[in-house]
């Protein structure tokens, strides 16, 4: 329940996060399936989650209101919204003793506001956030729009058709829509105005808060990846530029709603031309049709030969890239963006090559991963990473903007992460103090959500195989994003385990069954997750860990402390003033459950996330961790298996041959 004076908070700087949860059922006040939180991805909004899936969102803040809700203030709703640097920090209902109100997040996920009629001693329902089926998140699937005033509420945007027509006919719209004709960026696209809508979710986007609508139109037209654009704000006559890439999800129409916004969807010119009224076309005289037919016949014979030659050239050029489904950048463009790969733009190096910071007009700041010609990541791994990430969309996965393939050059272009990788903070004596315990716990939860998406919620079932702190990138708000899918693998719907003779990954994060027998599954990723959790809690690396009382690694050290109920000794010393004991205990216990020796003992991601996020839950006792053995004191400071380690500590074993 949310009462006047209470605040919903999302403050990254202070690490303060407060949200509402539903009851388990009407008679049990234990936390239920639904929670309501502030989200600040791109633009602020309020989102109701059903466990880890979006259930409802208000739409983004447009300067006056949330685009899917009423303007503020109004006779019913008068919330107090606090912004800091255009981020929504808190929402509260101002206390008014003359007007008793309460908000309730029902067990069904519906948010309701009640007012008290003192004279009749009765609570009256004054407002419901979700008023119709179109408020359900993604009701019409990708590239569909929900129109509640229509007999069939889901429609495809113009220029799109149902992806699965039979499902659509049965009113199962979850598959959404796909383009009827591909865009034709080089030879001219245009835009169709869609009026009075709640804008699609900002899953893949670019935002500029000062552009005019005309500048936004031109910018979207120049970028072949841009599929739609709009003004994000309705203040000052409409300002800013919001561009979408990929699929348009969770769009609904509000007929006659003047407070809501318009958007402009990119279509081939041929699709826009087809909107000419058919009756007008039928008014053409028969002689005109005859003349057109004769002219067409003359032209066709001349065009066919030229078209065949042109198509052959294009097929040859595009055959190697057709599976990538991602924008291709020219090498010259990337050279200019990185100032010819200058040293001042170099932000990282590894066995794969180098990473450079750059800037593109449309994408803003970017990170360019330029593969070395001697890289262990070959063309197969490169294409694997491109194909996988292009199909994945989640706020805790790094966003791939495009790639470059010219000659021997292979580059991946990512969104730029201002705060580098997690290991830069956790293991650095100076930087680690920046990460307070609330920040670290938020990072752990974010990584877990990203891994849950890979294992269970995405269209593909992905095994990452190289989850580690250096592959967790942090954005400007220190939100974690899983990166580097070069050795990831897709599993089939019913597949649970696979085996390889070529073991690739990083020593210290690999599970025993993978490192020794080449067996990998979701449980090998879980093992890596456990190592990452314990590293975040302790501020110590698993590989090379030393302790004056014994010769165990970090996993063994954590296990010994847990058995003696001394788990607080594992905490990074710089967290002594900020840690929450119950959360630390849960993280250590969950970390140890993840690194248990046998794969079948480890939890799956959905259980792991529930255990991490549920205060007071009774968790199972962990068993002995993998690699629980004391090392000889003579080799404790030496590097194990150095003959199998590359410069970035990655290990490959192929029938006992080094990579």
Grouping H, G, I as helix, E, B as strand and the rest as coil, residue 36 is strand
On whether residue 429 sits in a domain, the answer given is: yes
- The verdict on 232 and 145 lying in the same domain is yes
Both tokens of 536, joined, read 């975040």
| Residue 527: inside a domain | yes
Do 479 and 622 lie in one domain? The reply is yes
Residue 291 lies in a domain: no
Q: How many CB atoms lie within 10 A of CB 509?
A: 29
- Find the mean pLDDT for residues 6-10: 80
Q: Which domain holds residue 126?
A: 7-131
Q: What pLDDT does residue 568 have? A: 94
**293: in domain:** no
- The answer on 629 and 496 residing in a single domain is yes
Say what the pLDDT of residue 565 is.
Answer: 93
Say whether pLDDT at 230 is over 50.
yes
Last residue of a domain, one of 99, 131, 163: 131
Residue 50: burial class (beta carbons within 10 Å; 0-12, 13-18, 19+): middle
Q: What is the pLDDT of residue 142?
A: 92
Tell me how many domains the chain contains.
4
Cα–Cα distance for residue pair 324/391, rounded to 1 Å = 10
Q: Are residues 399 and 513 in the same domain?
A: no
Does the structure show a pLDDT above 70 at 175? Answer: yes
Quote the DSSP letter at residue 453: I
Tens-digit pLDDT profile for residues 362-409: 678 899 988 876 555 556 667 767 777 777 778 899 988 888 888 888
Packing angle between helix 581-594 and helix 605-613, nearest 10 degrees?
A: 160
Claim to verify: residue 552 and residue 466 sit in the same structural domain: yes
Mean pLDDT over each residue of the chain, to the nearest integer: 79
Q: Is 214 annotated as a binding residue?
A: no
Instruction: Give the global pTM.
Output: 0.51
Q: Which range (451-455, 609-613, 638-642) has the least confidence?
A: 638-642
The residue among 87, 105, 131 that closes a domain is: 131
- Give the residue-averaged pLDDT of 579-600: 94
Collapsed DSSP state (helix, strand, coil) of residue 151: coil
Q: CA-CA distances (angstroms) from residue 600 to 513, 593, 595, 603?
A: 11, 11, 11, 8
User: For 438-463, how does the pLDDT look when each residue is reduced to its tens digit (9 = 90+)?
Assistant: 999 999 999 999 999 999 888 778 99
Query: Where residue 352 sits, what CATH number does that domain have?
Result: 3.30.200.20
Give the N- to C-terminal CA distance of the chain in Å, as an integer.
57
pLDDT at 541: 92
Tens of pLDDT along 252-305?
A: 887 654 445 889 999 988 777 544 333 344 444 444 443 444 344 434 344 434
Q: Give the count of beta carbons closer than 10 Å to the beta carbon of residue 227.
A: 23
For the domain that residue 575 is a member of, what is the CATH number?
1.10.510.10
Local confidence band at 72 (pLDDT 50, 70, 90 cut-offs): low
Active site residues: 466
- Per DSSP bridges, beta strands 400-406 and 353-360 are unpaired
Establish if 1 belongs to a structural domain.
no
Residue 372 lies in a domain: yes
Cβ count within 10 A of residue 147: 19
| Judgement on whether residues 474 and 563 belong to the same structural domain of the protein | yes
Domain boundary among 131, 147, 164: 131
Residues 446 and 482 grouped into a single domain = yes
Q: Quick one: 426 and 482 in the same domain?
A: yes
Task: Give 505's strand partners.
Answer: 651
121 and 148 in a single domain? The answer is no
């Amino acid at each position: 329940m949310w009462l006047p004076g209470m605040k919903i908070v999302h403050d990254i700087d202070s690490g303060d996060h407060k949200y509402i949860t539903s009851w388990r059922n009407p008679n049990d006040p234990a936390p239920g399936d639904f929670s309501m939180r502030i989200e600040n991805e791109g633009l602020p909004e309020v989102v109701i989650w059903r466990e880890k899936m979006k259930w409802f969102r208000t739409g983004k803040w447009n300067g006056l209101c949330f685009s899917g809700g009423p303007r503020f203030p109004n006779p019913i709703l008068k919330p107090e919204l606090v912004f800091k640097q255009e981020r929504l920090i808190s929402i509260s209902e101002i206390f008014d003793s003359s007007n008793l109100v309460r908000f309730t997040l029902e067990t069904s996920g519906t948010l309701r506001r009640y007012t008290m009629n003192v004279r009749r001693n009765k609570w009256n329902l004054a407002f419901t956030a979700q008023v119709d089926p179109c408020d359900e998140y993604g009701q019409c699937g990708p590239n569909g729009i929900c129109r509640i005033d229509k007999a069939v509420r889901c429609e495809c945007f113009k220029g799109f058709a149902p992806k699965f027509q039979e499902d659509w006919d049965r009113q199962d719209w979850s598959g959404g829509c796909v383009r009827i004709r591909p865009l034709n960026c080089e030879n001219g696209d245009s835009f169709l105005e869609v009026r009075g809508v709640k804008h699609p979710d900002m899953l893949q986007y670019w935002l500029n808060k000062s552009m005019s609508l005309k500048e936004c139109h031109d910018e979207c037209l120049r970028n072949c990846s841009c599929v739609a654009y709009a003004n994000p704000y309705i203040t000052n006559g409409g300002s800013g530029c919001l561009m979408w890439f990929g699929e348009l999800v969770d769009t609904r129409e509000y007929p006659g709603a003047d407070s809501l916004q318009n958007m402009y969807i990119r279509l081939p010119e041929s699709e826009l031309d087809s909107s000419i009224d058919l009756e007008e076309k039928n008014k053409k005289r028969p002689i005109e049709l005859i003349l057109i037919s004769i002219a067409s016949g003359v032209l066709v014979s001349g065009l066919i030969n030229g078209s065949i030659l042109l198509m052959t050239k294009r097929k040859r050029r595009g055959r190697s890239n057709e599976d990538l489904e991602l924008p291709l950048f020219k090498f010259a463009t990337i050279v200019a963006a990185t100032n010819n790969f200058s040293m001042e733009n170099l932000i990282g190096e590894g066995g794969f090559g180098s990473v450079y910071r750059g800037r593109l007009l449309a994408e803003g700041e970017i990170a360019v991963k330029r593969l070395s010609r001697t890289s262990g990541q070959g063309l197969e791994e490169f294409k694997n990473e491109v194909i996988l990430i292009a199909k994945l969309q989640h706020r805790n996965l790094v966003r791939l903007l495009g790639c470059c393939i010219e000659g021997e050059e292979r580059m991946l272009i990512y969104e730029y992460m201002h705060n580098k990788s997690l290991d830069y903070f956790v293991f650095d004596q100076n930087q680690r103090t920046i990460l307070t315990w609330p920040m670290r716990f938020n990072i752990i939860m974010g990584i877990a959500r990203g891994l849950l998406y890979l294992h269970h919620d995405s269209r593909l079932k992905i095994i990452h195989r190289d989850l580690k702190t250096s592959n967790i990138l942090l954005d400007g708000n220190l939100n974690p994003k899983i990166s580097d899918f070069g050795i990831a693998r897709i599993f089939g719907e019913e597949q649970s385990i696979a085996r390889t003779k070529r073991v690739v990954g990083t020593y210290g994060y690999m599970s025993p069954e993978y490192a020794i027998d080449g067996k990998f599954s979701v449980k090998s990723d879980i093992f890596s997750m456990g190592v990452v959790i314990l590293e975040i809690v302790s501020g110590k690396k698993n590989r090379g860990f030393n302790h004056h009382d014994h010769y165990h690694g970090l996993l063994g050290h954590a296990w010994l402390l847990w058995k003696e109920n001394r788990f607080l000794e594992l905490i990074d010393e710089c967290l002594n003033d900020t840690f929450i004991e119950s959360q630390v205990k849960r993280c250590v216990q969950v970390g140890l459950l993840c690194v248990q020796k046998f794969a079948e003992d480890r939890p799956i991601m959905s259980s792991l996330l529930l255990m991490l996020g549920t205060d007071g839950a009774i968790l199972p006792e962990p068993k002995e961790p993998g690699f629980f053995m004391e090392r000889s004191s003579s080799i404790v400071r030496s590097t194990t298996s150095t003959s199998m380690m590359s410069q970035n500590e990655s290990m490959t074993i192929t029938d006992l041959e080094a990579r």
